Amino acid sequence: MRFGEYGGRYAPEILIAPLQELAESYASFREDSGAQSELETLLTSYAGRETPLYRCRNLGRETGVRICLKREDLLHGGAHKINNTLGQALLAKRSGKVRLIAETGAGQHGVATAMAGAVLGLSVEVFMGAVDIGRQALNVARMELLGATVTPVSSGSATLSDAVDCALRNWAATAENSHYLIGSCVGPDPFPGLVRDFQSVIGRELYHQSLALEGRLPDAVVACVGGGSNAIGTFVPLLDTPVRLIGAEAGGRGLSPGDHGASLSCGTPGVLHGAFTQVLQDAEGMISPTHSISAGLDYPGVGPEHANLRDIGRAEYVCVSDAEAVSAFRLLSKKEGIIPALESAHAVAAALRLAEDMDRGSMIVVTLSGRGDKDLGTILGGGA
């Protein structure tokens, strides 16, 4: 499947058959009403859906714009990631797989995969750079408590991209009994489409809740974009409406190479992790280093569907700096009693900026992708 010119399956020969098998099992899973109702039960009674649409009582009072939050931060595990890991783990189990493979940087996706594996009785192996393991001791402890094996990767820079290589190599050797559970709407086909589908529950609920609670659809929705899964899940059910779709990328310390993670604002077309998309790279195609105060947005690529939505003019993407995200983090905490993830604080900051230019009575929905307890160390450690 392609999204305009983006997407595709740029994978080594040895992975083509497992990817094709996955595409076929997913096609049956989608049509299987038993599978869909099992997923719905898990999302409801295990993960905590549906999440509230909360109209901020205090924020935006000055601007006169209604700002509502789609509260993915209230889900089990504290972020939207569980929508995807439960979906893929159930798909794997129903396809006869007994083991999940994942890779993780900061550890959030590893923890969400370990939860899904535990509840569905699948074994889980998480590949993690040795450097990241040192930095993220608490998430390593969580994964192990949840029954996962955390395998350190010491090759290369011993961080996320080395863990991705290891996980893919492992999948190539074990695909018969294992599923590679990718953490965002990135990677070779069919991953971007299936992750989008599992996250689209966000936008579907938002659509109905907006009509039920506010009597209208919002003028705009805003979501942060790392790989882009919470954003694509927010956007896709609204594609055929007049709602403005706005993604907030990591503007980091500024827009010089190495200082940000803004693949759509500053990238060029290229292949990353098996898909043709917008990539932060130099003139020779070497992937650039990236920076963001939030680990979840610190990624040199973006889901291919976002690249296409940008090109066709259906979605807009803006940059939010580390400093703006930290101000929004503090503001939402103080005004509404909600401590957002630093990733989500990028979306809040973009919404506040947008509100300044909107008419009184306008309505914005921000997808609050996760909660911020995990980020207190960064804030207190001088990130502010």
Give the residue carrying structure tokens 């900051």: 349
Residue with smaller CB distance to ligand PLP, 170 or 369:
369
What's the closest the beta carbon of residue 177 comes to ligand PLP, in angstroms? 27
The CA distances from residue 330 to 60, 224, 320, 342, 382, in Å, are: 15, 17, 15, 10, 14
346 is catalytic: no
Residue from the set 128, 279, 341, 350 that interacts with ligand PLP by CB under 6 A: 341
Output DSSP code: residue 382: I
The dihedral built from the CA positions of residue 180, 181, 185 and 189, taken in this order, carries a sign that is positive
Instruction: Confirm or reject binding of residue 108 to ligand PLP (CB under 6 A).
Output: yes
Site string for ligand PLP, 209-248 (x = CB under 6 A): ---------------xxxxxxx------------------
Residues 76-95 that bind ligand PLP (CB under 6 A): 79, 81
What's the closest the beta carbon of residue 361 comes to ligand PLP, in angstroms? 29
Residue span binding ligand PLP (CB under 6 A) among the ranges 204-212, 317-325, 336-344, 348-356: 336-344
- Token pair, residue 271, equals 């292949």
Give the residue carrying structure tokens 């790989």: 227
Residue from the set 197, 219, 343, 375 that interacts with ligand PLP by CB under 6 A: 343
Q: Which of 68, 76, 80, 260 is catalytic?
A: 80
Output DSSP code: residue 61: T
Residue from the set 355, 370, 375, 379 that interacts with ligand PLP by CB under 6 A: 370
Instruction: Confirm or reject binding of residue 184 to ligand PLP (CB under 6 A).
Output: yes
Instruction: Confirm or reject binding of residue 203 to ligand PLP (CB under 6 A).
Output: no
- Closest residue to ligand PLP, judged by C-beta, is 370
What's the closest the beta carbon of residue 66 comes to ligand PLP, in angstroms? 23
Q: How many residues does the chain have?
A: 384
d(CA 33, CA 330): 44
Rg (CA), the chain: 19
- Phi, psi dihedral angles at 141 (to 5 degrees): -60, -40
Residues 283-302 that bind ligand PLP (CB under 6 A): 296
Instruction: Confirm or reject binding of residue 339 to ligand PLP (CB under 6 A).
Output: no
The dihedral built from the CA positions of residue 178, 184, 185 and 186, taken in this order, carries a sign that is negative
Question: Residue 227: helix, strand or coil by DSSP?
Answer: coil
What's the closest the beta carbon of residue 32 comes to ligand PLP, in angstroms? 26
For residue 341, which of 71, 144, 126 has the smallest C-alpha distance?
A: 71
Residue with smaller CB distance to ligand PLP, 32 or 48:
48
Residue with smaller CB distance to ligand PLP, 49 or 81:
81
What's the closest the beta carbon of residue 200 comes to ligand PLP, in angstroms? 13
How many residues touch ligand PLP under the rule CB under 6 A: the total is 17
56 is catalytic: yes
Give the residue carrying structure tokens 């997808």: 367
Query: What one-character-per-residue DSSP string does 121-165 give?
Result: T-EEEEEEEHHHHHH-HHHHHHHHHTTPEEEEE-STTSSHHHHHH
Cβ partners under 8 Å of residue 67, min gap 6: 55, 56, 59, 60, 351, 352, 355, 363, 364, 366
Contacts with ligand PLP, residue ranges (CB under 6 A): 79, 81, 108, 184, 224-230, 296, 341, 343-344, 369-370
Active-site residue list: 56, 80
